[in-house]
Amino acid sequence: MTGVAERAALYLRVSTGRQADSDLSIPDQRRQIENYCQAKGWERVAEFIEPGNTATDDRRPAFQAMIDAALTKPAPFGVIIVHSFSRFFRDQFQFEFYVRKLAKNGVRLISITQDLGDDPMSVMMRQIMMLFDEYQSKENAKHTLRAMKENARQGYWNGSRPPIGYRIVIAGQRGSKVKKKLEIDPIHADTVRLIYRLALTGDPQRNSSPMGIKSITAYLNERNIHTRDGGRWGIASAHQILTRTTYIGEHRFNTRDHKTRAPKPEAEHAIAQVPSIITEAEFRAVQANLKARSPRWTPPREVSGPTLLTGICFCASCGGAMTLRTGKGSSGGMYRYYACSTAARMGKTGCKGLAVRMDRLDRAVIDHLERRILDPERLSILLEQLLHRREEWVERRRSHITELNKRATEAEAKLKRLYEAIENGLINMADLSLKDRIAELTAIRDQAQADAERAQAAVERTGPKVTVESLKHFSEVARAKLRTETGEYHRDHLRALAQRIEVVSKSEIRLMGNKSDLLRTLAAASSVGAAANGVRSFVPKWRARRDSNS
């Protein structure tokens, strides 16, 4: 060949970064292609190396740079040489697309191990080989994914960056493979706990109600609580922490398609058991809060409307919502009542339905809560278990503080040794890694100290011992809140005590909620006094037996 066809570009590729770091594949590809060019008398004018990118798509920097160069006019080279066609592409359709695109600009693709001509038979053979390459690639991907899912089920980490609050540790070795697991990172795990605490009970210093994601993000940034990289928090990162099951000990692997990012069915997920940072009850409660705040799930009227039972009152017969209706009495006056929405929409064929006067049902619900839930003796029984858990929490937190202080001390000691080595001339100040190491140790020390201070403050805010007098005071305050005349505030407090109300008949109703959520509401934040001010919404599950609150 003469002219531009004698100028060749080399394309060298391996599939993974590990191969690029340790494998001899790229040097071997280069050696064989150089020998091929020498035998042909071709000049090597360019080389494109792809260290660790799959050939199933064209999202490869070196590949795109090579294509851009090949499509310029005139082309700087006439042939692109690969070791095998699978180095160029493992997708038959994409392969043919780029081969034809190159051919239009006078550039050919040549494989030194699959040397074929341009006649119809050679083209057909190349297409058949590409189909086999594509099939083999998909089979390899299937088997690799299956092995990775099993690895996850056994509790091992498959790679990538761990979620904030965790760090990777070596768990053992099987042959040449090093097995790794996740363990709790004491530096950042406390930040995760803080985010959940804000979502559940709000800022205890301000006696605030549960915070939304935007408020949590602002809270963290205002107090200079940084991300793992030392940056500022965003809504997306805070939302990911509040919705990731990893924090209750269930890390999900294979949840999305790696190409389209589309979610996969739950049946295809592999769950790895990891140490939990928060309890399952806390996680479920946060999910209920997020769902209640989301306009996708809760109509705006149910969140902001003045009606006491809007959104939590249901017909026991059909499960339909009891919605507000108005009517005219025999004396001509207007009155309001809750009526079964199914019956209103479909008539008696859908549900026989009930209609209950709003003022009577509201009064019955409030009276029941005051008589059953807010009785000081009953509160004492409910809080007994909570207080025991609080003591255990304090002991765990004190142990955590000790670990954080130890880590801060170790980082400080390492910094001192570095400074001493610099003063003694043992370390060259021009070393580029020195600045990064000092910054890393400083960040570890400062973060550990800040986390220890927050944890200590949380312990100090656990509040005074609960007494008969404090329970009585809480009961009185909560009763007053429920009776507020404006309608809005007592609705919030009612939803902190009961999350679902079923109307069985005009003389029978059922109240439901989650017992652990009820306890958390009563002891919100740091003291019983604060509990009277911190309210929230929860999943309707707290009634232990079907007849417990009838």
Reported as type and span, the H/E element at residue 180 is: strand 177-184
Q: What is the pLDDT of residue 145?
A: 78
- Rounded Cα gap, residues 494 and 478, in angstroms: 10
- 43-51: strand order across its sheet: 43-51, 7-14, 79-82, 108-111
| Token pair listed for 362 | 């509201």
For residue 543, give the amino acid letter.
R
- Rounded Cα gap, residues 431 and 135, in angstroms: 49
| Token pair listed for 18 | 């590990």
Q: Virtual CA dihedral for 299, 301, 306, 310, nearest 10 degrees?
A: -40
Reported as type and span, the H/E element at residue 179 is: strand 177-184
Using a CB cutoff of 8 Å and minimum separation of 24, what contacts does 29-35 make? Answer: 29/83, 29/87, 32/83, 32/112, 33/81, 33/82, 33/83, 33/112, 34/10
- Rounded Cα gap, residues 440 and 447, in angstroms: 11
471: Cβ–Cβ under 8 A, 6 or more apart, which residues?
376, 379, 380, 383, 528
The answer to whether the beta carbons of residues 156 and 179 sit under 8 Å apart is: yes
Q: What is the pTM of this model?
A: 0.48
The answer to whether the beta carbons of residues 465 and 477 sit under 8 Å apart is: no
Q: What is the pLDDT of residue 387?
A: 65
Q: DSSP letter at 111?
A: E
Q: What is the pLDDT of residue 17?
A: 53
CA distances from 527 to 31, 204, 327, 389, 499 (A): 74, 9, 45, 14, 23
| Token pair listed for 541 | 């599950």
326: Cβ–Cβ under 8 A, 6 or more apart, which residues?
334, 335, 336, 337
Residue 250, classified by CB atoms within 10 Å of its CB into exposed (0-12), middle (13-18) or buried (19+), is middle
**Nearest CA to 35 among 65, 14, 27?**
27
397: Cβ–Cβ under 8 A, 6 or more apart, which residues?
455, 458, 459
Q: What is the pLDDT of residue 23?
A: 52
Those residues of the chain that have pLDDT short of 50 are 1-4, 20-22, 297-304, 487-489, 523-550
Among positive and negative, which fits the CA dihedral 150, 156, 158, 160?
positive
Q: What is the pLDDT of residue 535?
A: 39
Q: What is the pLDDT of residue 550?
A: 39
- Rounded Cα gap, residues 157 and 449, in angstroms: 29
548: Cβ–Cβ under 8 A, 6 or more apart, which residues?
none
The answer to whether the beta carbons of residues 24 and 12 sit under 8 Å apart is: no
Interhelix angle for 358-368 vs 488-497, to 10°?
Answer: 50
φ, ψ (nearest 5 deg) of residue 259 = -95, -55
**Is residue 328 helix, strand or coil?**
strand
Q: Virtual CA dihedral for 143, 148, 149, 152, nearest 10 degrees?
A: 160
Q: What is the pLDDT of residue 526?
A: 35
**CA distance between the termini of the chain:** 94
For residue 241, give the amino acid letter.
I
